[in-house]
Chains A and B, each alone.
Chain A
């Protein structure tokens, strides 16, 4: 007699539901014939018989949900009681399957004119090799590793949503009893704790659009050109830039902070992977996307820098729309990488390449230059080693990434040559103070100096 059990189809599957009995008591079954269908929280399947014989007993009702390993059915093997080898005894030809342990599927056979349903002779020779059973073989990629934190024991498996909720409400997850499968803490558990007195940090009140910036004086009549002079009318773009910049200096209380960043490993990394990157992703690899990624992380860590002043309120943004200053023939424009906090370095590189190309061919849409929550300017390619940019209103700050230059620096009390860059920020003293500005920049510096961007670049 063979007992058929609820099969274990994966380590974390702990129970299954009988959807349908395909055989009734007294019916005969062939080996590998489907006996019943089950549904688990991950996958549905029909379960085949490991032996040929007769169903003698059905132990569980249709629709019942039972733990893995529960006996569901009994089968009297064909010829049992006689001398025929049972499957469980390990007859050479009949595989060693017992219980509901699935039978291995036969390997593909060479066509060789045997089975009529074999692949046609047009099948490539490669297909004739029996492929082994497939389980994921490759190690987790960098991007995967970055997005999937280590999992602890079962009750410690938490979804990003649960983590986020707990963090937002300052909840100690160790104090929450999980009601999910295997004692996991679910969203509902966290919401229940919040509803019964979990504390929530007050969010600043959202308010309307900022007051209009003071406009530049109205256009004057054009002066006449003197000797050795040329009179050029102010273009629409030039006027807009002028108004924007003047309004910013008149509105904000600008202060400036600079840190030095050792980017030696980034220079080496870029040299090593830039060709492969360009070939694989179709865009040139520059340092800017790495700076954007490092800055986005710091903005999420210091939300007061990712904010705007609005009347009596400071509005913190929980997302990052990164403005990127781009120079083009008509002047300066700041296209915005929307949702930069949801992109890896590849995504940022692609977005910047796309926006910069369309900026330079005058094809940006109006909404693509609006809504920045922070801005980065990159005068480095032109040779500047330190810049004091004007804040892109209504942002709280703007980071300038200047030229990377080899400089003698002190490393372990010895003078060494390293690729260094000055990373500075103009910031609005109405919104943040020097300590926060410096801690923010220190975080960007730390990110650039310690992150292994090779993982994020997928090359």
Chain B
């Protein structure tokens, strides 16, 4: 039975704004003030370093990254480096896992939803369980997944599905700490352009199916957390 949940689709949002926003929402979800919330957005180019990232896995200097129009951020999720940028669908589900949280089941659920989304777009993707969480096509990663739990009970961070990502950005890092694995995108697999706009509604439907969410648009005061039009 689907439970009401909020859907936020704010478009392209700077990483710092989205990161702060998702933490605020997770605090409120933890306090029971809001229902489960799914945020689907895009970021301007940014490399994020998880807790397990090693400095040498960033192959470009910070100034090289900035010269290319990107940023580098250290954040509180697990895992190593990854990249977010235009053409990549980023999903941050803020979901309460209940009193017996099962992070593994949650990650499997995220992977399921992404695998279904790839299948609906025509790409056969799967898991490489010995290697790492995420969704893969052969030995190439099509979707990075990295999650944190707030006080073991509410999910933070999420997934990054390459739709038409400029994959050359991944040359700046040892992505996820795995030097032997490549990156791919839905567009690369299909030899045809698939945009974030193409993939977003399909991903929303599959996430709703997997996690039993009845998605309704989030109210305005929540949506405004991710709005950046008041930037001077």
Q: Which residues of A contact B (CB under 8 A)?
A: 7, 9-13, 19, 32, 34, 39-40, 42-48, 97, 101-109, 115, 117-120, 122-124, 126-127, 129-138, 140-141, 143-144, 146-148, 157-162, 180, 184-187, 281, 338-339, 342-344, 346-351, 354, 368, 458
Contact = CB atoms under 8 A, between A and B. Distances in A.
Contact of B216 (A126, A147, A351): A126
Range, interface on chain B: 35 or more
A103 B221 contact: no
B99 to A, nearest CB: 4
B115 interface: yes
21 contacts: A13-B103, A39-B51, A44-B148, A45-B150, A46-B152, A47-B151, A102-B152, A107-B32, A120-B219, A127-B34, A129-B35, A133-B97, A134-B212, A138-B210, A146-B124, A147-B126, A160-B127, A161-B128, A162-B130, A347-B122, A351-B191
Nearest to B188: A339
A135 B97 contact: yes
B140 to A, nearest CB: 10
B190 interface: yes
B65 interface: no
Q: Is the interface of B mostly helix, strand, loop or mixed?
A: mixed
A43 B107 contact: yes
Contacts of A144: 112, 115-116, 119
Interface string B45-83: 000001110000000000000000000000011100000
Nearest to B122: A347
A108 B122 contact: no
A417 B220 CA distance: 61
A47 B122 CA distance: 41
Given A106-B32, A127-B34, 10 more contacts: A40-B78, A43-B149, A47-B152, A107-B32, A136-B112, A136-B210, A137-B211, A148-B127, A159-B128, A368-B191
B230 interface: no
Contacts of B125: 147
B211 A104 contact: no
Contacts of B133: 42
B20 interface: no
A135 B217 CA distance: 21
B101 interface: yes
Given A120-B221, A122-B220, A342-B124, A134 B36 contact: yes
Interface string B89-106: 000000111111111111
A394 to B, nearest CB: 21
Contacts of A339: 189, 191
Interface in B105-155: 105-109, 112, 115-116, 119-131, 133, 137-139, 147-154
B130 A115 contact: no
A150 to B, nearest CB: 13
Nearest to A38: B152
A124 B4 CA distance: 10
Contact of A133 (B33, B34, B96): B96
A32 B4 contact: no
B131 to A, nearest CB: 6
Interface stretch (B9-17, B23-31, B165-173): B23-31
Contacts of A106: 31-32
A137 B78 CA distance: 25
Contacts of A122: 219-221
Contacts of A187: 130-131
A347 B121 contact: yes
Given A10-B103, A105-B96, A346 B219 contact: no
A185 B102 CA distance: 24
A48 B30 CA distance: 12
Give 3 closest A-B pairs by Cβ, nearest first. A133-B98, A347-B122, A10-B104
B226 interface: no
Contacts of B28: 117
A346 B189 CA distance: 13
A346 B122 contact: yes
B222 interface: yes
A11 B104 contact: yes
B209 interface: yes
A168 B9 CA distance: 45
A207 B127 CA distance: 34
Given A7-B152, A43-B103, A48-B152, A105 B126 contact: no
B122 A132 contact: no
Given A13-B103, A45-B151, A141-B119, A148 B126 contact: yes
B113 to A, nearest CB: 8
Contacts of A138: 209-210, 212
A34 to B, nearest CB: 6
A46 B107 CA distance: 18
Given A43-B107, A131-B96, A161 B4 contact: no
Given A7-B152, A351-B190, A13 B104 contact: yes
A349 B120 CA distance: 11
A132 B216 contact: no
A147 B138 CA distance: 11
A155 to B, nearest CB: 12
A102 B216 contact: no
Contacts of B152: 7, 9, 45-48, 102
Nearest to B151: A48
Given A108-B35, A119-B219, A137-B210, A161 B78 contact: no
B116 A46 contact: no
A102 B101 contact: yes
A131 B151 contact: no
Contacts of B126: 147-148, 160
Nearest to A343: B122
Contacts of A342: 123-124, 137-138, 189
Contacts of A346: 119-122
B124 A159 contact: no
